[in-house]
Amino acid sequence: MNRTSFLGSKPIGRIGFGAMQLAGPGVMGPPRDPAAARAVLRRAVELGVDHIDTSQYYGPDTVNDLIRESLYPYPENLKLVTKVGVRRDEAGAWLPALTPQELREGVEANLRSLRVERMDLVNLRISDGAGGPGVPLPEQLGALEDLRQEGKLDLIGVSNVTRDGVEQALDLVDLGEVQNSYSILDRENEPIVELCREREIAFVPFFPLGSAFRRGPTTLAQDPAVSWVAGKHSATPSQIALAWLLARYERMLLIPGTTSVVHLEENLAAANIELDEDDLGALEAVEQVGRPRA
């Protein structure tokens, strides 16, 4: 199994780091232990992570501030990926922010808080179906394409999107990635993975261990097929779930998040696990678990 792949035309490690969990409860405010959050970020880079997924609306600002305080000046090969299309109110609600002006302000806020002049990739988080409430998809992607032409981002991605939405986006811009929920427990987006495979586009699964809202990690640990394969490889159930994703598609890029250095190291070690045909066959029997809409 290759440990590296591509984000657009850029070489990239296949296991990166998702930074959302570094904020406080509800992805609002500071973490309980800011020093531990910074330690996780620094250890990730020490271990070769070259892909961090974040957003200014995590906190808001909290997570981007932690990344900047911990890692700036950034390693030359570090790719910083963000998303726009959402804003937070004082109560922590997730509200759409999809007008061209709001998308521009979202990108500028990420550039400012991360202290960079250009994002490696900006995902458009689509709130409802292909276009979101009240704003046509061409206007949303057109705003990001304008920013790309201005040199403020390299690649455009889409997140929380239907297959029809991906196909519409492909008619409008070059896509660097698709970011949707997908895991061994939740394969609802398998058709989108297949579309990405056909078009050779990176697919970045969120909830890679199953949704925490539906006790995904606990469900993994209780599944007999996952437990059998984990025992065979002297691995944890979570490591097997990550290795399964890596085996699924060579341009699958993982961004598991954690607030623990121990769990970070465990996640990255999943790249060392080579699942054979017996393993993959056994894992096909894993029971699927429904999920809430992201």
Active site residue 72: no
Task: Give me the tens of pLDDT residue by residue for the chain, a chain 294 residues long.
Answer: 789 999 999 999 999 999 999 999 999 999 999 999 999 999 999 999 999 999 999 999 999 999 999 999 999 999 999 999 999 999 999 999 999 999 999 999 999 999 999 999 999 998 754 455 689 999 999 999 999 999 999 999 999 999 999 999 999 999 999 999 999 999 999 999 999 999 999 999 999 998 766 677 889 999 999 999 999 999 999 999 999 999 999 999 999 999 999 999 999 999 999 999 999 999 999 988 754 433
Q: In the Cβ-directed half-sphere of 30, how many Cα atoms lie within 13 Å?
A: 8
pLDDT of residue 271: 97
pLDDT of residue 132: 55
Catalytic residue among 58, 72, 74, 182: 58
Q: In the Cβ-directed half-sphere of 95, how many Cα atoms lie within 13 Å?
A: 11
Distance between CA atoms of residues 66 and 30, nearest Å: 9
Question: How many Cβ atoms sit within 10 Å of the Cβ of residue 142?
Answer: 15
Cβ(242)–Cβ(256) under 8 Å? yes
pLDDT of residue 210: 86
pLDDT of residue 212: 67
Please measure the distance between the N-terminal and C-terminal CA atoms of the chain and give it in whole angstroms.
Answer: 30
pLDDT of residue 127: 72
Burial of 75 (0-12, 13-18, 19+ CB in 10 A): exposed
pLDDT of residue 128: 56
pLDDT of residue 292: 44
Distance between CA atoms of residues 192 and 267, nearest Å: 24
Q: What architecture (CATH level 2) is domain 12-208? A: Alpha-Beta Barrel (3.20)
Distance between CA atoms of residues 71 and 177, nearest Å: 24
pLDDT of residue 193: 98
Question: How many Cβ atoms sit within 10 Å of the Cβ of residue 174?
Answer: 12
- In degrees rounded to 5, what are phi and psi of residue 264? -55, -50
Instruction: Return left, alpha or beta for 30; rule: phi > 0 is left, psi -120 to 50 is alpha, else beta.
Output: beta
Distance between CA atoms of residues 271 and 46, nearest Å: 16
- In degrees rounded to 5, what are phi and psi of residue 181? -70, 140
Domain boundaries of the chain, sorted by first residue: 12-208
What token pair was written down for 146? 């304008």
The DSSP code sequence of the chain is --SEEEETTEEEESB-EE-GGGSSGGGBS--S-HHHHHHHHHHHHHTT--EEE--TTTBTTHHHHHHHHHHPSPPTT-EEEEEESEEE-TT--EEE--SHHHHHHHHHHHHHHHT-S-EEEEEEE-SSTTT-SSS-HHHHHHHHHHHHHTTSEEEEEEES--HHHHHHHHHHS-EEEEEEE--SS--TTHHHHHHHHHHT-EEEEESTT--GGGTHHHHHHH-HHHHHHHHHTT--HHHHHHHHHHHH-TTB-B----S-HHHHHHHHHGGG----HHHHHHHTTPPP------
pLDDT of residue 142: 98
